[in-house]
Structure 1
Amino acid sequence: MKNEEISNFVCTLKQNLENLEGNTNRVQEDLESEFTALNAVLVEMKENMVTRIKQERASRTYELQSQLSACSKALESSEELLELANQTLCSSETDGFNQAAKDIKDSVTMAPAFRLSLKAKASDNMSHLMVDFSQEREVLQGLKFLPVPGTPEIQVSECQVSDNTVTVVWTLPEPDSKIEHYILEHRRTNHEGPPRLREDYPWMVVEGIREMEHSLIGLRFDTRYLTFRVRACNKAVAGEFSELVTLETHAFNFKLDSGSAHQNLKVEDLSVEWDSCGGKIQDIRKEKTRTNSPMHSPARCVPVFI
């Protein structure tokens, strides 16, 4: 007997080792996948920001080079005017001097140097594209494994029970962006308060709830109460169930009294069926002293509820 227990325990340990290996590989692959995706985002952001810097540099380089080219041409034009002025001053022809002076005046007036703006169209300052990732670095250094979600709290005052529909509302102690969905469980019961060791009805499960409320429609209120509990789930694990909350259904429970019904009515707890060939007709025929009267007619029969 002891050897059998040890053998079973050995099998359990071997199975645990296999499960441990498989689960370790699964979580490690998931970790590598998450870091790969995170690295891809960083690489993409780097490429976008480098492209922005290059575009800014190209735009400013074009503006400054255009101004530089215009200034160079203006200087060349000014040198030509100076050369023309020197030649005119050195000329001995009096008649040609006046015309040359007029030409120089017109050339100076139209010279590019007098129409140039000596203010740079683009700045050499690129400090607006500097970065500081100290906060982001702290966020990355704070990466950790998923925590267990907090325990929800069902808000009894906001829950509603009416028309075979129950709406359950709950909240979280603290906001948690890692929660993916909620699991709501409900069970019928005729007892108010803590659950008993053995309940008459099983838990019914509703999964994949995205909001912090859920409506159950088309219910059958055949018990006095409905008990609810809910828990939050993230990508990896489900949290603890909330405290049990029992809501009264205000159901109208009754049973039909077969003893006071017509003899040919087949009465069960919640249904009535007319049985014209029932055994009670034979009993009636045997009672010769009993006469047919309107009071025994099905039309005069009224079920009694207890």
Structure 2
Amino acid sequence: MGDQRESLRKISTTLALKNEEIQNFICCLKQCLQNLESNSSRVLEDLDAEFSSLYSVLDELKDGMVTRIKQERASRTYELQSQLRACTKALESSEEQLELANQTLCNSQMDGFNQAAKEIKDSVTMAPAFRLSLKAKVSDNMSHMMVDFTQERNMLLALKFLPVPVTPEIQVSECQVCDNTVTVVWSLPEPDTKIDYYVLEYRRTNHEGPPRVREEHPWMVVEGVRLTEYTLTGLRFDTRYITFRVKASNKAVAGEFSEPVNLETH
């Protein structure tokens, strides 16, 4: 009877612990769902802001280029219209002189013909038609303002999400705990030369298993760690464990946290 009671007590204890683990995992999953919704909304907002910024730049560039084309068109239109008016006026004057010359030729026997011919000759010599340049001052060719954005379009098509740093792995066997001091050591599963720094987080706990959603002590954060190890001093070993996790960050984004590890304090 005693053995059965003890066996049942152990089973009850095991079930209670397992239920507690499952309950904690359920809380973690719910928290993950909330975080996923929040993080997805944030990155969607960031994406929308980045594309809006691109659209704004493109609109500004387009407006500037459209303005330059319109200014060039207006300038050339003014020059060509001025030249057209001058030519039209010169042609009208030349036609009047031609008509006068023909009339004078028809009356070549009249008195004063020589004087009239001389006056016509002098007026023709000074006529605007002979001072005009019969070459357009500006060209109608606007090919110098053509565009080809093939290269830029290919660059836009190459846009993608930022590269995320690899996830570090804490090397438990190399970590040291003594005299209210903890040295945490981690490594990378593969080389990543773009990592700028690491973020180390730790939290005191009396639970041996995975981190719980609801803990008595908050996560403490150490940012800007440049090496793959960090020593914390002046700690209070008033709990059985200290949980550690670390993530890598490049100049743009941070990666995933490593699997948390519990280091026993005593």
8 Å CA contact 1:179–1:233 kept in 2: the answer is yes
Aligned residue pairs, count: 179
Q: Does 1:18 align with 2:34?
A: yes
Shift of 1:92: 6.0
TM-score (norm 2): 0.59
Aligned equivalents of 2:145, 2:256: Cα separation in 1: 44
Equivalences for residues 252-291 of structure 1 within 5 A: none
Q: d(CA) in 1 for partners of 2:49 and 2:68?
A: 29
Aligned to 1:183: 224
Aligned partner (choices 76, 83, 99) of residue 83 of structure 1: 99
Determine whether 1:235 maps to 2:252. Answer: yes
Structure 2 unaligned spans of 5+? 1-15, 167-190, 198-222, 235-247, 258-266
Equivalent-residue separation in structure 1 for 2:66 and 2:110 (angstroms): 66
Q: Which has the higher contact order (CA 8 A, sep 6+)?
A: 2
Distance 1:12 1:64 in 2: 77
Evaluate the alpha carbon distance shift between residue 137 and residue 119 of structure 1 in structure 2; reply closer, same or farther with a 3 A threshold.
Answer: same
Higher helix fraction: Structure 1 or Structure 2? 2
Task: List aligned pairs for 1:83-162, cutoff 5 A.
Answer: 83-91=99-107, 94-148=110-164
| Structure 1 runs, 4 residues or longer, greater than 3 Å off | 92-95, 173-176, 182-186, 198-202
Which is greater in Rg?
A: 1
CA–CA distance in structure 2, aligned partners of residues 88 and 7 of structure 1:
119
Q: 1:179 to 1:125 in 2, by over 3 A?
A: farther
Task: Say whether residues 1:55 and 2:71 are aligned partners.
Answer: yes
Separation in 1, partners of 2:116, 2:196? 88
TM-align CA RMSD: 3.3
Distance in 1 (CA, whole Å) between partners of 2:28 and 2:255 is 25
> How many angstroms does 1:117 deviate by?
0.6
Query: With structure 1 as the length reference, what TM-score do the two structures score?
Result: 0.52
> Residue 234 of structure 1: CA displacement?
2.1
Partners of 1:237 and 1:76 in 2: CA distance: 79
| Corresponding residue SS for 1:183 | strand
Aligned amino acid, residue 154 of structure 2 = E
Q: Secondary structure, in 3 states, of the residue corresponding to 2:112?
A: helix
Q: Once the two structures are superposed, what CA deviation does each residue of 1:213-259 show, in whole Å capped at 9, x if it has no partner?
A: xxxxxxxxxxxxxxxxxx7632322699xxxxxxxxxxxxxxxxxxx
Percentage identity across aligned positions?
A: 65
Q: Measure how far apart 1:53 and its partner are.
A: 1.1
